[in-house]
Structure 1
Amino acid sequence: MQRRKFLLTTAAALPAVAIGQNLNTPDDRTTKGFVVKANESRFDETTLLGGKSPNNIKVSSKDTANKLTVFEYIGNEKGGPPLHYHLKQDEIFFVVDGEYLFKVGDETYTLKTGDTIFLPRKVPHTFAQLTDTGKMFFMFQPAGKMEDFFRAVAASAEDSEKYKGRDLFAEHEMKIVGPPLQF
């Protein structure tokens, strides 16, 4: 008898699930394709990390209803961020030029031109640029507060301790759990 009741209840709920999947919810996203040229940013915005390295928005959270954001990072110095994790975002990096050391959980990986790495949300990670110059495309899914985070980092370029500060990371749904990589 219990099985029959379960099956009937489940069957009765299926139309509601199907209807919910097809609802057209309001979506603030662009409705046209666009091109962002090499070494340029989506809205002609300049964001320099460390005062030296452009971090250009290629696809904005505004374009995707906050579902995705894509950056082009042009690294002009060695190093990288502290060990941290994102509460709500997965992250993907694609190396265009240079060599990078990544730590994801307990594993370390050396990435070179053409390599891609996936960093799951809630898994501690960091990277270090090993070459004097480098270039990567990286993206967050969903976009979350990452565009604002990089704006804040750029604004605090003179104060590198603020860049590494736990409060700045926490304000943008991340948590610092260790120092940057030593190389």
Structure 2
Amino acid sequence: MTMPYLANPDQQQTLEWLGGGLLTILLDSQATEGKLTVGLFDVPKDEAPPFHLHTREDEVFVLLKGNALVWAGDECHELSEGGAIYLPRNIPHSYRITSHRADLLLITTPGGIEEMFRHAGRDITTPRPEGFELNKDRLREAASLHGNVILGPPR
């Protein structure tokens, strides 16, 4: 049996993301013929993206380690370790990490959302500029370019 694509850790890209968290892109749209993106977040307590929606992708989060609050529309739910949530496109959502750290597995279909993360984040293999911070304007620009709509501040 032949594997269509195999990505060992040295072939994966890790980006610095919100609040000093990391996103490792395990499989991108190029590797999956555009079908999906798979990423792994390693994020600290209180990491929270803006309240937003995706116009192009359906999204699944699996909380591998830690705890979080998750908002979908007007509803707030607790997500505990091992829990998963499915967020169809055009559903406003966000989350906030409530444990000391968390590992989140991200799966989106179709693929392509990794380009938004690459646009706003920083590849950790490049030198970190002094005082680097994920800029809110750059995040808004990246979201807009890649079919995501920021609706408001983090929850």
* Cα displacement (A) at 1:46: 2.5
Which of 58, 66, 91 is the equivalent residue of 1:123?
Answer: 91
- Summarize the alignment of residues 82-121 of structure 1 with structure 2, pairs less than 5 Å apart: 82-121=50-89
Structure possessing the higher relative contact order (Cα contacts under 8 Å, 6 or more residues apart) = 2
- Summarize the alignment of residues 55-66 of structure 1 with structure 2, pairs less than 5 Å apart: 55-66=23-34
Task: Give the TM-score taking structure 1 as reference length.
Answer: 0.72
> Are 1:161 and 2:136 matched, yes or no?
yes
Normalized per residue, the structure richer in helix is: 1
Matched residue SS, 2:151: strand
Matched residue SS, 2:25: strand
| Residue aligning to 2:149 | 175
Which of 96, 104, 114 is the equivalent residue of 1:147?
Answer: 114
Task: Give the TM-score taking structure 2 as reference length.
Answer: 0.83
Amino acid at match of 2:65: D
Provide the alpha-carbon RMSD of the alignment: 2.2
% identical aligned pairs:
28
User: In 2, Cα distance between the equivalents of 1:88 and 1:72?
Assistant: 20
User: In 1, Cα distance between the equivalents of 2:43 and 2:79?
Assistant: 14
Q: How many residues are aligned here?
A: 146
Gap runs ≥5 in structure 2 = 123-128
Q: Which has the larger radius of gyration?
A: 1
TM-superposition CA deviations, 1:82-109 (whole Å, max 9, x none):
1111111000000011111111112111
- With 116-125 and 146-155 compared, the bigger mean Cα shift is at 146-155
8 Å contact 2:56–2:147 — kept in the other structure? yes
TM-superposition CA deviations, 1:48-79 (whole Å, max 9, x none):
11372221111221121111010011113422
8 Å contact 2:57–2:89 — kept in the other structure? yes
Normalized per residue, the structure richer in strand is: 2
User: In 2, Cα distance between the equivalents of 1:46 and 1:159?
Assistant: 15
